[in-house]
Structure 1
Amino acid sequence: MPKRKGFPFDLTPSRAALEAAADAMPKPLGRIGQLEVRLAERPRDVKRAQRLRYEVFYKELSAVADPLARLARRDMDAYDAVCDHLLVLDHTPRPKPAKALLGLQGFELKGLEGKGAEFARAFGEAAAPFKPKGFKKKPRVVGAYRLLRQEAADRAFGFYTSGEFAIDDLVARHRGLSFLELGRSCVEKAYRDKRTVELLWQGIWAYVQAHDVDVMIGCASLEGCDPQRLALPLSYLHHFHAAPAEWSASALPGRRTDMNLMPKEAIDLRAALKALPPLIKGYLRLGAFIGDGAVIDRQFGTTDVLIVMPRALINPRYVDYYGGDAGRRAA
């Protein structure tokens, strides 16, 4: 794929590394209708995920792009080159432009300009058998996760999470267990529904099983950098989901923000759950623990907490669910 003019390098894994990772897994990892989950197989797949992350983190949310990200219009860092990348792809044929749908060139489709994705999804699977001229057939990346196994982290820069939380001691306490870092979770706005989440988690679970992962870790974010405005959800996580000593790790000294901002008895449980992002609620349903203290990430405009999920302690209901056929269960 030609490089963007004026952009001299790309932070993506090699094609050989991506193909080796993908070849070690079933293809696809799951499918629901026109949506499919699989690992990235080419550097261009990773670039498409990075573009999606840029759209969500920097344009939709409040992250501040550095010069490299602005130049490439992609969210990327050095970790991208050593991670595996889990993708959700939409195979629904897309009109280019909207007027091309079913050969309607020359007709006015008022209100549809700039809404090709929503229109294609609304048209749905009825469009699948038809591929008229003017349709884009290349699947688009609509969801992504970045996966960093312990052995890859050890060969490179360590875990991304270690820049915010003191996880080295946690890993050392469980020497012999295999850790996997989950990061850069991202879903296009129009696809933030049950089907996409089902596929991402089926893909993660297949990856965990294939690589015999024992513990999943990662940073999860609450939007905003003012802990006082986040006092309710942070205090709820501290009082009701704190990791036991065996699985705990603290935010780094100098970066730590206290999460114990309200007494336990003052917490409105329903309001606290409502204030949590869907991603964190999903982790909690699986049985995740929360580390000690939060970290403010001013580049991304978020307050981050540590997620720790020992595989052996995951709710058996979800082990059965995601170990099965997501297409059959969620279609």
Structure 2
Amino acid sequence: MRLIMQQATASQQAQHSESPLVARITTDPAEIHQALQLRYRVFAEGMGANLPTAGEGIDKDSFDDVCHHLIVKDVHNDCVVGYSRILTNELAEQTGGFYSATEFDLSNIIKPGKRYMEIGRTCVDPDYRSGAVIGLLWGGIAQYMSANKMDYLMGCASISLADGYSKAIAVIDYLREKHFTSEDMRAEPKIQMPSTSVDLDGKSLVPPLLKAYLRIGVKVCGEPFLDKDFNVCDALILLGKDDMNQRYLRHFVKTEG
């Protein structure tokens, strides 16, 4: 399995000139533990998620024992500041299926003979949300997808319910109008979010991470899953290898020469 090694571009580093950023897949236990702590800070402390491992100050589940851990590290401060985990078809077989399958019926999504990579638990340290970290994560994800000949990228993109359902419903209304997949590529959520009429501009309320996904070219596979434990609704995203917005991606991916 090819390791991903990237460093922030000069313009990205300028925003953290004393904190060089590097993206890579890690197997180092200390770095993985830092990543699980980062997830806890973002999801539990920041978003109010109810985590079974909260007493340990980490976010961890059974998928973490077999997944690939993609991190962005501030090597100056020796800390993990960005994260996404990766599950492939082969890795998912070891866990009984993809994480997305715990929330959605994927029978219309997973096609025989195709290779999938699922990203999840993607998060960025609040002190590093300038765009550089998410750029490096996307660069790493795209390189992994290409190097391992993946046909599709998928995952769950979370929309916070911290302010109630109205804003999330407005976001989903916007996505339904502009960014849903075709009817034959929809995934039914196992728990549906309540629906009501709202008069809000959903486009302006799309979370930054989901906005970046949309710019890359992802589509949303239908209605969201209501995740009460994480206090979010999850939109299932899907991106075919030929549907990537290469022009936008070039901002993130380091050219190999």
CA radius of gyration, larger in: 1
Q: Is the 8 A contact 1:218 1:307 kept in 2?
A: yes
Instruction: State the identity %.
Output: 29
Alignment of 1:209-288 (within 5 A): 209-224=146-161, 226-252=164-190, 255-257=191-193, 261-262=196-197, 271-288=201-218
Q: For structure 1, which segment, 72-81 or 31-40, has the greater mean C-alpha deviation from structure 2 after superposition?
A: 31-40
Q: Does 1:82 align with 2:66?
A: yes
Q: Structure 1 residues 321 and 233, CA, compared in 2 at 3 Å: closer, same or farther?
A: same
State the match for 1:305 in structure 2. 235
Structure 1 unmatched runs, 5+: 1-20, 94-138, 327-331
d(CA) in 2 for partners of 1:323, 1:79: 27
How many angstroms does 1:325 deviate by? 4.3
Aligned amino acid, residue 140 of structure 1:
C
Aligned amino acid, residue 250 of structure 1:
E
How many angstroms does 1:267 deviate by? 7.3
TM-score normalised by length of structure 1: 0.69
Aligned amino acid, residue 306 of structure 1:
L
Q: Does 1:39 align with 2:25?
A: yes
Query: Could you say which structure has the higher strand fraction?
Result: 2
1:158-204 alpha-carbon deviations (Å, 9 max, x no partner): 00011111113321xx2221111110011110001121111111111
How many angstroms does 1:70 deviate by? 2.5
* SS of corresponding position for 2:85: strand
How many angstroms does 1:229 deviate by? 4.3
d(CA) in 2 for partners of 1:315, 1:168: 26
Aligned amino acid, residue 187 of structure 1:
V
d(CA) in 2 for partners of 1:198, 1:322: 5
Alignment of 1:1-331 (within 5 A): 21=1, 24-26=2-4, 28-32=5-9, 33=13, 34-66=20-52, 69-93=53-77, 139-171=78-110, 174-224=111-161, 226-252=164-190, 255-257=191-193, 261-262=196-197, 271-325=201-255
1:199-252 alpha-carbon deviations (Å, 9 max, x no partner): 111111111111111111111111107434432111111121111134322212
* SS of corresponding position for 2:65: helix
Q: Is the 8 A contact 1:83 1:146 kept in 2?
A: yes
How many angstroms does 1:258 deviate by? 6.2
Aligned amino acid, residue 181 of structure 1:
E
1:128-178 alpha-carbon deviations (Å, 9 max, x no partner): xxxxxxxxxxx110110011111110232200011111113321xx22211
d(CA) in 2 for partners of 1:206, 1:313: 15
Aligned amino acid, residue 31 of structure 1:
A
d(CA) in 1 for partners of 2:62, 2:165: 29
Q: Is the 8 A contact 2:8 2:132 kept in 1?
A: no
Aligned residue pairs, count? 246
d(CA) in 1 for partners of 2:38, 2:91: 24
Query: Could you say which structure has the higher helix fraction?
Result: 1
* SS of corresponding position for 2:188: coil
d(CA) in 2 for partners of 1:42, 1:157: 25
CA RMSD of aligned residues (A): 2.1
1:18-65 alpha-carbon deviations (Å, 9 max, x no partner): xxx4xx225x23334411111113122211100111111111221123
d(CA) in 1 for partners of 2:7, 2:148: 17
Q: For structure 1, which segment, 299-308 or 312-321, has the greater mean C-alpha deviation from structure 2 after superposition?
A: 312-321
Aligned amino acid, residue 309 of structure 1:
L
How many angstroms does 1:319 deviate by? 4.3
How many angstroms does 1:92 deviate by? 2.0
